[in-house]
Every structure is written in C-alpha cells, then in structure tokens.
Amino acid sequence: MLRWATFAWLGLTLVFIAAPTLIAIVVAFSSAELVKFPPDGYTFKWFASAWGKELFWRAALVSLLVALSAMAITVPAGVAAALAIRRSSVATRRMLELVFMSPLLVPAIVLSLAILVGSVLIGATDAPLRLWAAHSIIVLPYVVRTTLASLAGMPPGVEEAAATQGASPWQVFRYITLPLITPGVLAGAAFAFIISFDNVSVSLFLVNQKTPTLPLAIMNYVEYNFDPSVAAISTTMVALSLAVAWLVERMVGLRRILQ
Amino acid sequence: MIEGSIPALELQGVTKRFGATTAVDNLSLTVTRGEFIALLGASGCGKTSTLRMIAGLEQASAGTIRIRGEDVTTLPTHRRDIGMVFQSLALFPHMTVADNVGFGLRMRGRNTADIEREVKSALELVRLSGYENRLPASISGGQQQRVALARALAARPTILLLDEPFSALDRKLREELTLEFAELLRRVEATTVFVTHDQEEAFAMSQRVAVMQAGRVLQLDAPTAIFLRPADVDVARFVGMTNVLDATVDASGRNATSALGLVPLATLFEPGQQIAIGVRPEHVRPGDATGTTAVTFSATVRSTAFRGRHVSVILALERRGLGETRIDMLLPHGVMTPRNGEAIRCCIDAAVVHVMAAV
C-alpha cells in the first residue's frame, strides 16, 4: 500500500516537472496556426519556419558565441581559482569561497544593472563584449564548485607522491591533478554553457535590439506572434541542453557531479 | 672526500614548529649508506614531521638536512633524490601498474627503453611481473603495497622513506610483508628511513631504531639494545618494560632496596644513590628463586587475562604503610593460571634487572 503511494507520488512529481516541456514539444509539431493543445494534426513546418527566420538563427548564433566564449574564459579561471582556494588557510578559504559563489547570491537584476552602468562609465558599450563579461561572471561559480568538489575527491597524497617521484609542480598538475579532476571540470564547463545559453535576466539589460540572444529573441517574438514556431525553437533548445547533459553523462557520469 | 665516507643522510639540529607547538626539537641523525633506520614513537612524537622534512614536504624551521653531503634543506621535493612509500600508498589511480612504477623515471627524463627495463626489474623485485597493465583498483591490498614500493625504488633513489606503509593491512599480511620487504631492501642495499609506531615492525626490519618522544630522540641504538637496555624510564615503558620501580643503592654499593626487597646489582654504584630499576613482565617468574643472585617476593593476584600465547597477570605488592605497588607478569601459555586474590611467590633473576637514572 505504502509502496504504491510512494510510486504514485513519484509519478506525480515527474509529471509536474516534465509536463511543461512535453507540452511545448508536442505543440512544436502542431499543424494549427496558433498555439493550441492538444493539436489537431502534426507537421514539421514550424521548425522550417522558425529556422527560416533570420531573427532566430542570428540570435542562436549570438547565444552560442556568448556561451562558448564565457565557457572558454571561465573554465581556466575557475580551475585556477579552485586550486588557489584549496591551498588557502581555513579563514581565507571561507572568504574566497564566498566571493566566488557570490554571483549565485546577488540578484541577477542587480548584477546586470551594475555591469550596464559600469560598461557605460568605461565606454565599453559593445553589446557582445558586455554580454560575454556578464555571462562569465554568472557561470564562474559553477566551474569553481564542480572543480572544488573533484579536488576534494582526489585520493590523498597522490600529488605529494608525484613530487617525491621527481615531478615539478607543473608536471604534478599536468600528469596527476588535471587528469583526476577532468570529470569535474567538464561538468563545470557543461553547466557554464547551459546556464549562459539559457539566461534571460542578465542578458535583458545588456543586449542591443539588433543582436538579441536566443531567449530574448523568443520573448520579443511572442509579444506579437503566437504561432508554434516559438515552441519549435524551444524544442531545439531543450534538445541541445539534453545533448550536452548526455555528453557529460557519457564522459563522466552526471550523477557523480550533481551529488 | 671519498664517496664511501659521506653519509647518505644527515640531519643537524633540525627543528619543526607549527605555531606555538614544537613538533621536532633540535634533532640530529646520521644514516650511513645502505643502513635501515626506524623512527619509532607514538603518534605526535614528531617522527612523521621528521620524515616529511627529509622529503621536503615540510620546511624545517631550523637546522640542516644533507643528502649525500648536499645541503637540501630548502630544495623543493622534486629535486631531492628520494623515493617514498606513503601511509595511504597514494598510487596514481588513473595509471596502470607499469605507468605508476615508471612515473619517476619518466619525470627524470629517461628514455623509453630504459624506463621499460627498470620497470620490469622493479616489478620482478616485488614479484608482480605480469601485472603491468592492471589498474591499482583491480589488485589486492598487498599487491598495491608492492606496487608502491616498486614505484619508490624504480629510480634507485639515494634515500628510501617509508611512512607507516603497513598500517592499513591486516595483521597476517602485515607480518608477511614486513619480513619480505626487510629482506628485499637489504638485498638492494637501499638506505631506508622507516617511520612506525609498531615496535615489533621497527625491531624486525631495522639495523638501528630511534625511539622518539615529544620531538626528540630518546635513544638511538640497535633493536636488541633498546629492548634489553632502554636508556631511560620513558623508553623502558615504550618498549614494554612496564615494571619500573624507585630504588636506593645500599651502603655496600652492590644492592638496591626497593619494593621488591633487596636487589643485587651487576655493577658497583655509589651508596645512597637514587635509581630506577626495570624488569620486563616476561622476566617475572612464579615460584621461589633457586640461585643466589635472585630476588623472591610474595604478591597478591589482582587480575589475569588470557592472551593466546601468554597469560598476563597483574600482581599487587604489599608494602607496609606505603600502599600497593603494581607488578606485571607474563606467563607462557600452559605454565599456570593463578586465581584472582590468590597469594603467590614470584622471583626475578638479578641478571635481567635493568638499572636506569631515577626520574
């Protein structure tokens, strides 16, 4: 009896989590001219229509570029930060951890407003550059965190053992530390990509109207149109996120990182 | 100077302070080439800090460390010519057995053929040929132990450092490996510094043992000397000479009065001198003494414990007006098992009574 109740509860929770996504995916294949659930018939035409719109694929390109460049800078920076944090004394360590986690705690609106004001002050009003800087800040905590977790999970003494074997600090990092923390670093990179690609709140303040990111292009579009091409775009984004998650799972096991 | 006269390792006044505590206090030690020396002591005595300073994993607060005559006190770990086996073994989990063993050679820039040959001979030495392509996680604890030793020896370092390498193993495997490693290291004539809290391990493997306490070496000597003639009361208690009694040399200078009565002394002492006498529990025998140079006394059995090969007995010695003195006795299995509360006669051969400075 209790068993069945547990399963029922689990099922309900799963439906609650997955239903919105599933509905969007179903609607993406709907043959109706307006968003309607359940659909009357099925078609692929909205994918063609959506990706035929320059607006969307240009926006997708902006998002991809911002996400990849944010990833490219935060992965080395985050790994370096994690290594430094680990070597610090307990008090310094607490402080540094707080500093590097703070982008998760400060409301995104405040952060983006600050970056907007700051960029105007120093005259760096180029939108992609601003976006890149802002996204780098918000994704950095994920890289630092997953790297710290994998550093903590390293077997004790292996770095010292390598040093006694004649490995210089750089060789210790190259042959021992890096291979052992690679799973955590890859997971951090994947998170960085997804978080950046998906972001609305920070981007909202910093894009210019000609080059929005994909989530903002979708928002703009929905204001005046309500056809299933939006759902088709969303479905593509879901597929991309799932693909990244699947890659990470294949390479390192997602469960280990999320713990 | 000729090569042979330079010690493999020399510590001079080495001190390590962590904040207000002094872990190693002005320690000096010389290890000759091919010698096997143990640092023996309870946890916190400074033995591990000493080893880590030799390896360069800790910086000495004061003093000088020389490896084969070269001052390495401030040299980083990777430039010291050492090999080390860690308590946690610290095998590289992402590398095969062969890559683990060959790591040091690779870091020292040796060519592939060289590395292959040295790895092969190191694995033969520890009897692990055929395990080259296994990962550390897929072999047994004893085999991992051997890989760790092979890795430390592969580059033929000047000094081999062993940091409690057997403490994670079960008793049987530990005893096996202790003897095997001791024999192996003698054969390759490795200069070895071995840190342990286990006196049996230290005695079985080493040519000399340094007994440490509170960051100092209390006694540095051959295992039998430490066992039979501990330098002071602390060493005596540490090596299991648990019966330590205050005594006073009598007017003749040939006997000492103690809780056991009049004890004959092997050499002449100054009359009236305060001394401490020590007797190992296994040297306390039941029954009356037969020779003339023996001490006999009566005591009450307080408790007995069966320990397999031995029965350990705690005796209480009555001293009029002075309360009780505790005497430990270790009886070989099968001799007798006294009952609690029983009054028995015991004796000690004067030859095994060890005289030390009074505390």
Do A180 and B93 lie within an 8 Å CB cutoff?
A: yes
Task: Find, among B67, B324, B39, B308, the residue nearest to B193 by Cα.
Answer: B39
Q: Are residues A74 and A26 in the same domain?
A: no
pLDDT confidence of A55, banded at 50, 70, 90? confident
Please check whether residue B159 touches A, CB under 8 A.
no
Between positions 102 and 141 of B, the ones with CB within 8 A of A are 103-104, 107-108
Give the pLDDT score at B1: 46
Residue A248, in any domain of the structure? yes
Name which residue leads in pLDDT, B189 or B322: B189
Neighbour-count burial for B131-165, b at 16+ CB within 10 Å, e otherwise: bbeeebeebeebbbbbbbbbbbbbbebbbbbbbbb
pLDDT at residue B292 greater than cutoff 70: no
Least confident of A76-80, A122-126, B93-97, B277-281: A122-126
Residue A188, in any domain of the structure? yes
Dihedral sign of CA atoms A212, A216, A220, A221 in order = positive
Q: Are residues A80 and A205 in the same domain?
A: yes
Q: How far apart are CA B313 and CA B69, in angstroms?
A: 51
Do A176 and B92 lie within an 8 Å CB cutoff?
A: yes
CA distances from A134 to A113, A117, A129, A213 (A): 10, 12, 9, 13
Q: What is the pLDDT of residues A84-105, one digit of tens each?
A: 999 999 999 999 999 998 888 8
Q: Are residues A15 and A93 in the same domain?
A: no
The distance of Cα B152 from the centroid of its chain, to the nearest Å, equals 21
What chain B residue is nearest to A154 in terms of C-alpha separation? B93
What's the mean pLDDT in A135-164?
93
Give the pLDDT score at A256: 54
The enclosing domain of A162 has a CATH number of: 1.10.3720.10
Q: Helices A90-105 and A54-87 meet at what angle, rounded to 10?
A: 160
**Which residues of chain A make contact with B104, given a CB cutoff of 8 A?**
165-166
Give the pLDDT score at A259: 45
Percent of chain A with pLDDT over 70: 97
Q: Are residues A110 and A28 in the same domain?
A: no
Residue A110, in any domain of the structure? yes
Chain B contact probe: residue of A165, A180, A181 with most B CBs at under 10 A: A165
Q: How far apart are CA B66 and CA B159, in angstroms?
A: 11
pLDDT at residue B48 greater than cutoff 90: yes
What's the mean pLDDT in B277-305?
87
Give the pLDDT score at B82: 96
Q: Are residues A109 and A145 in the same domain?
A: yes
Q: What is the pLDDT of residues A171-227, one digit of tens each?
A: 999 999 999 999 889 889 988 998 999 888 888 888 887 888 999 988 888 888 888
Do B93 and A158 lie within an 8 Å CB cutoff?
A: yes
Q: What is the pLDDT of residues B195-254, one digit of tens each?
A: 999 988 999 899 999 999 999 999 999 999 999 899 999 999 888 899 999 999 999 988
pLDDT confidence of A27, banded at 50, 70, 90? confident
Between positions 70 and 99 of B, the ones with CB within 8 A of A are 76-80, 82-84, 86-94
Residue A68, in any domain of the structure? yes
Name the residue among A158, A172, A175 with its Cβ closest to that of B90: A158
pLDDT at residue B159 greater than cutoff 90: yes
Residue A198, in any domain of the structure? yes
Q: Which residues have CB under 8 Å from A254's CB, separation 6+? A: A187, A245, A248
Give the pLDDT score at A254: 53
Q: Are residues A38 and A58 in the same domain?
A: no
Of these ranges, A25-39, B85-99, B244-258, B284-298, the one predicted with the greatest mean pLDDT is B85-99
Q: Are residues A23 and A131 in the same domain?
A: no
Of these ranges, A236-245, B19-28, B308-317, B343-352, the one predicted with the greatest mean pLDDT is B19-28
Strand partners, B323: B319
Give the end-to-end CA distance of chain A in Å, rounded to a whole number: 30
Residue A90, in any domain of the structure? yes
Q: Are residues A98 and A226 in the same domain?
A: yes
Torsion of CA B112, B115, B117, B121, to 10 degrees: -170
pLDDT at residue A258 greater than cutoff 60: no
Q: What is the ipTM of this complex?
A: 0.84
Q: Are B64 and B114 in contact (CB under 8 A)?
A: no
Give the pLDDT score at B3: 54
Q: Are residues A24 and A86 in the same domain?
A: no
Domain holding A213, by residue range, is: 53-258
Q: Are residues A221 and A180 in the same domain?
A: yes
Percent of chain B with pLDDT over 90: 66
pLDDT at residue B321 greater than cutoff 80: no
Q: Which tokens sit at B91?
A: 């095998």
Residue A4, in any domain of the structure? yes
Q: Are residues A65 and A35 in the same domain?
A: no
The domain tally of chain A equals 2
Give the pLDDT score at B333: 80
Residue A48, in any domain of the structure? no
Give the pLDDT score at A255: 54
Q: Are residues A158 and A244 in the same domain?
A: yes
Do B94 and A179 lie within an 8 Å CB cutoff?
A: yes
Q: What is the pLDDT of residues B117-132, one digit of tens each?
A: 999 999 999 999 999 9
Give the pLDDT score at B231: 92
Q: Are B217 and B244 in contact (CB under 8 A)?
A: no
**Which residues of chain B make contact with A166, given a CB cutoff of 8 A?**
78-79, 104, 107-108, 155
Q: What is the pLDDT of residues A110-146, one digit of tens each?
A: 888 888 888 888 887 777 888 898 999 999 999 999 9
Give the pLDDT score at A247: 82
For chain A, the residue count is 259
What chain A residue is nearest to B104 in terms of C-alpha separation? A165
Task: Find, among B237, B200, B206, B199, the residue nearest to B222 by Cα.
Answer: B206
Three-state DSSP state, B340: coil
The position carrying tokens 């063993």 is B101
**Which residues of chain A make contact with B149, given a CB cutoff of 8 A?**
none
Tell me the whole-structure pTM to 2 decimals. Answer: 0.83
- Listed in sequence order, the DSSP H helices in B216-325 are 223-228, 233-238
